[in-house]
Structure 1
Amino acid sequence: MLYARNSQNQNVWAGSALKGDQYRCPFCNCEVLLKNGQIITPHFAHYKRNHLYCQKSETHEHYNLKYCIAQKLKKLNYKVSIEPYIPDSYQYPDLIIDDAIAIEIQFSSEVVAHIVRRSRSLQNIGYKVIWIIKNVKYNIKTCVLYLSNYERNFINSHNRLLFSWDAIHDKFYVYRIVYFLGGQRFIAKRYLLEIDDLINFIQSAEVFQCPTQSIKLTRKSIYHYINQCRKARSVLEPSLSVMYNLRLTDEWVSRYLGIVFPEQIFIKSHPIYWQLQLMYFLRNHTLQIGAFQSLLKFNRFYNEDIDTMQITYNVVQSFKQFYGIHGCYSVQN
């Protein structure tokens, strides 16, 4: 951390702290050690015996990025507060910019519920909250972004942006999520962003438009999903069970299913899985939105509780409209 409290209970920046003085963590009140060498950025660190009890323990990469962002934005005349205490939310966000934007850096694992709670408490008092995570896997040729269940929590559900920092190459990336393909794969556009342009980018992101068109999974991708289902070697595997009951071939599924609707970003369940389940309900005239919704799993995002019932209703209507137009309800087609 960059600030700690001295014996007079004053916040002291690590760069101005004096060796030999005693300092305590402002978050857990444990004693911390001043580290101020010639190579690393001055910072305070918890002693090994007590660092596990503080939720604010941070990596050296975390310190450096926080310090770098703060210094560059200050030079651009932004008002920057480092680790300020926000009494209305009982928090110490990493950075507050112009009393309007809260920037949080998360390079270590944290309980998702804590991330959500921290975000919403700041949002509820008017802050725009941005999270920055470690660099993620991206295929620049295919524009496929790979996100774990944990990493995807840091997507802003309003503008579909994900911010990441490549500490090895000192590069700041922003990913604009276009579609979720199921599993860990997302279609995304990647932008290389200078820290100097961070605030302008955040403000301009409000005009980003979410996709309104649907796309289709590739034949290869659909066959891969079906083969993964077969590896379970169970007649109870839900996707294969529907295919068996409706007498659907791999070719038929590959040809007619696997449409990725814009709402798919909110649905963790694979497109083939839920479309097969929905087809089963429709074919047997037993569709109930609540029953179908109970079969779905949903992605979670730090800044919003999604209306899962509305999303379920939307994809059901989109599915029925698309396949009604293409005449694909009959498995004889």
Structure 2
Amino acid sequence: MSGRSAALCVGVALALVGVAWAAVPGPNDPRYPDYIVDPRVTCSKEGSFHHPRNCSWYYRCVDRMKIGYFWTYYFECEPGTVFADELDQCVHPFLAAPPCGSPPTTTPTPKPQVVPCTGVEGTCTTYDICRPQRVKKTFCAEIRCNLRTSNLRCPAGMLFDMSSEQCAFPPKETDLCKVFGCVGVPGTCTTYKVCRPTVSERVLCRKMQCSGHSTPLTCSPGKEFDVATRQCMTPPSEIDLCAAKTNITVSEQGQLKCSYDNLYPSNDFTSRLHCETFSLCDAGIYRGQKELCETYYECYRAGSEWRVRPLSCVAGLLYSHAEGQCVVPPTAAELCRP
């Protein structure tokens, strides 16, 4: 056996002995805890690396014989530090990259204590501000704060802004919303009894008297002043008004035929007057027609004769004689397209 072969065999033997010695469990080697050496870490190249089971430990792989067999050495960092592979040394956790690094622990800065203040009653004014944006703010000339025995005031020309809880200049006159009050001029107003979309009374006036104007004003052509909303509105149409007569005779509606089996009659005259026929399609296929009415009639007995009265569905619904009830009208998608 040549000298080189003998040296190689000796190197292999020593490497195996070193590996076995490095893997001795804790009880047999009190320098290391059991979980540090067992199971043994794997070396694939020379260098120092953090321990996969404890970042406060690291191991070093050394190929002493340069034959591909590694000796493994274990080391423990100083208390409070971990091994950083990228720095090849033990550092504080916040200086190391993951997986061993961690952000530093900081103590949040306490927020300054805010002393609550309230406006003194009788010294506060609420402003309706329109510039630069619409907002309502309350400013007070005097405030009372905790831990203070007397009321406080802001510097001259300033008031306490209750929204920001700071002294500020009050809004300028040009920044405030303008308020114009208008009322209907007596003798030019009409009360309408409206039944659609809901039953209500609306008072509309042809002329209105507004603050800042010495003479009465009128709305634009076709509109009148609504006293309730204080706006110019289009008067309700005839079809939206409640019927002038609550009871009408059968003869007035084209001889509607009433009976106990036909309490909601209709005929060609009432259909042409109040109803509309809708053509229905589904995916381009014709499905039939549906007649829906804005006004329908109900029969009732008045002594020895039948009488009828007009009725309307609630807003958004139309009456179907075929179904005998108020229904939702078809949508644009359900209608046949020309």
For Structure 1 versus Structure 2, the TM-score category normalised by the shorter chain is: under 0.3
- Which structure: greater strand fraction? 2
TM-score normalised by L of structure 2: 0.22
- Which structure: greater helix fraction? 1
Larger radius of gyration: 2
TM-score normalised by L of structure 1: 0.23
